[in-house]
Amino acid sequence: MYSEVAMNPSQTDSFSLLGERAVLADQARACQCELASIQKAARMKKLCVTRELQQRAEAICTVKIEYVFSDQFDQLNACDQILIPLQKLCAVLNPDTDSESLDFTSQYSQLYSVPLLEKEQEPVLFKGMNYLKYRAAVLREEIDLKSPCVGLLDRIEQKLKDAQRIRDYIIQANLRLVVSIAKGLTDRANLFDDIVSDGQMPLIRAVEIFDVERGNRFSTYGTWAVRNFLFRSTKQRRKYRSTFLSGVESVAMGLSDFRSSQRSYESYHYTIHGVLKKVLESLDEREQMILKRRFGLHQSGTPQKFREIAEDLGVSTERVRQLTIRSLKRLREAVEEQNLEIPEII
């Protein structure tokens, strides 16, 4: 019964028939290898199975099958309680954007193609996903590596594949959750695409370990998991950016008291002078003047204090400090845009 469903490509690839396929597979009897084929192979090659089949069985045995267990899985009517509702729900959902694996980078334009899961739909999908993985783990214990059954391997692989399809659908239905959180964390140090990309990892993990029997909605648990992860990752980017900016000032200040051989100094000075010239041209005249005087890049070569620059410009010392910080930030952006690299001090 199961083999007929599994051998039909259109049914195998259809999400709407996933539930029906799972029910048939769970109700099917243990598969019997064709004795005639085995006997023929034994007579010709003195072997009952090929090396390729053994490698396939070994690969299945090494796969990590992780699932959230439920006492309902061991009940005799587990198929009726779990897979029958899954069959009905999959037939209703049947997403137009169904695919073997999700390409998240192309999902933004189709973000709302998969609707949010309703409260009563979540238990059906999560229990169905975990039950399929549980059954695959149970069937895997029946594998005989010396003489693996083709039908048994087919059933295990199909169950794992269907479980992944359900997982992907849940992820796609909740991807907008990551996008919503990413919008509030976007800044110069954290680009929107980078945050969304990072947020997919905790979302996937949250789907895999979520226990629906605790009575919580997945959106509540998923939001906590994604936000907690992204807060840490965005903070690290801001810290790196802040360190980079302070490093720019340190490099500029280091030019005045750089100690090395004359040849090394001249070589380094020539290189850094070329880089600074390129990035300074991206600033306006006032910003260029402030940075040159602040870091001793003008004719006198002596760094000046904020107070001295402020007196000449007729503004407050605090205003000069703010302009300096803003100019350094713009320098950093110019370095990134022009793909320039500031050499390390020798």
Mean pLDDT of the region 199-206: 93
The listed range with the strongest mean pLDDT (18-32, 92-106, 141-155) is 141-155
- DSSP tag of 299: T
The predicted-structure confidence for 161-202, as pLDDT tens digits, reads as follows: 999 999 999 999 999 999 999 888 888 777 888 888 889 999
What pLDDT score does 69 carry? 94
228 pLDDT above the threshold of 80:
yes
What pLDDT score does 138 carry? 95
Reported as a pLDDT band with limits 50, 70 and 90, residue 36 is low
Mean pLDDT of the region 57-61: 94
- DSSP tag of 189: T
Tell me the C-alpha distance between 259 and 268, whole Å: 11
Q: Which two tokens stand for residue 332?
A: 């950093």
Neighbours of 335 (CB within 10 A): 18
CB 234 within 8 A of CB 219: no
CA-to-CA separations, 346 to 220, 239, 268, 300, in angstroms, rounded: 52, 25, 8, 24
Neighbours of 40 (CB within 10 A): 11
Going by C-beta distance under 8 Å and a sequence separation of 6 or more, which residues neighbour residue 138?
none
Place of tokens 């845009």: 337
Tell me the C-alpha distance between 49 and 187, whole Å: 59
DSSP 95-144: -TT--SS--GGG-GGGTTSSPPPPTTHHHHHHHHHHHHHHHHHHHHTT--
Q: Which segment of 75-89, 148-162, 272-286, 310-324 scores lowest on mean pLDDT?
A: 272-286
Q: Which segment of 136-150, 164-178, 230-244, 254-268 scores lowest on mean pLDDT?
A: 254-268
Q: Which two tokens stand for residue 233?
A: 């990752």
Mean pLDDT of the region 233-259: 56
pTM exceeds 0.85: no
- CA 49 from chain centre, in angstroms, equals 40
CB 282 within 8 A of CB 336: no
Q: Which segment of 126-140, 247-261, 291-305 scores lowest on mean pLDDT?
A: 247-261
Specify which residues 187 forms β-bridges with: 190
Specify which residues 190 forms β-bridges with: 187
Mean pLDDT of the region 76-91: 92
Reported as a pLDDT band with limits 50, 70 and 90, residue 133 is very high
The predicted-structure confidence for 16-35, as pLDDT tens digits, reads as follows: 788 788 888 777 554 555 45
Tell me the C-alpha distance between 120 and 339, whole Å: 52
Sign of CA dihedral 265, 268, 274, 280: negative
What pLDDT score does 335 carry? 67
pLDDT top residue among 271 and 249: 271
What pLDDT score does 104 carry? 47
255 pLDDT above the threshold of 50:
no
Sign of CA dihedral 111, 113, 119, 120: negative
Q: Which segment of 11-20, 174-183, 284-293 scores lowest on mean pLDDT?
A: 11-20
Q: Which two tokens stand for residue 14?
A: 């259809």
The listed range with the strongest mean pLDDT (42-46, 251-255, 287-291) is 287-291
Place of tokens 């309902």: 72
What pLDDT score does 282 carry? 75
